[in-house]
Amino acid sequence: QNGVMSGLMQMLLLKVSAHITEQLGMAPGGEFREAFKEASKVPFCKFHLGDRPIPVTFKRAIAALSFWQKVKLGWGLCFLSDPISKDDVEKCKQKDLLEQMMAEMIGEFPDLHRTIVSERDIYLTYMLKQAAKQIELPRASENEPRRYIPAVVVGVVGMGHVPGIEKNWNSDLKIQEIMSVPPPSTSSKIFKFVLKATVFGLLGYGCYRVGHRTVQFVLSMPAAQSYLQRLTEVSQH
């Protein structure tokens, strides 16, 4: 539904998620499931999923990568087999190590970091600020002065997003641009056309070869040869 490349990327990331689950005995995203459970215990608490929709993030990320970057990323995700321990997870909670990992990602895939991390920092900050607006109390009449109470908000985000949210908090944020999906480039259209033409060409050639060999095999059978000989005799008469 969201495109072939987006679907393949989601399949690869599910593979990574399964690898992490197998190694640690716990599935990624447990903090969000726990937040949902805790929110259900608080009276009048509203639970809101405040991240950017996954299809938008994937499509923007894929559009930002060159063909070779897509191949490199896909190859890395396909053959991810490094062991992960709970100690490794604890080390990732250290701010210095986390910043180092983010810097490595920026160096290797700068456009991917921009779409998956930096843009979502902006989106998450915007949604948190919307939720944190003061709540106006009901008034008995129009003449009564407006009264407000602060909203109580608990934001649960991945550790890698905390520095970006702090950085963007006092900025005037607009999310229209990061919610749009850029149209495919000319080179991307050409590549898709060539890929489809190649696939259909190979399928057509395969069907032709199979059909040709099948016909030859059928014609070589004694019963078929006898039937053809009778047809030839009938046509001659």
* Residue of 17, 51, 163 whose CA lies nearest to 98: 163
pLDDT of residue 105: 65
Rounded distance between C-alpha atoms, residue 228 and residue 86, angstroms: 74
- Which tens digit of pLDDT belongs to each residue from 156-185? 998 889 999 999 999 999 999 999 887 766
Q: Which of 131-135, 153-157, 215-219 has the lowest mean pLDDT?
A: 215-219
Region 54-63: mean pLDDT is 84
| Claim: this prediction has a pTM higher than 0.75 | no
User: How many CB atoms lie under 10 A from the CB of residue 77?
Assistant: 16
Structure letter (DSSP) for residue 178: G
Tokens read off for 135: 């709540």
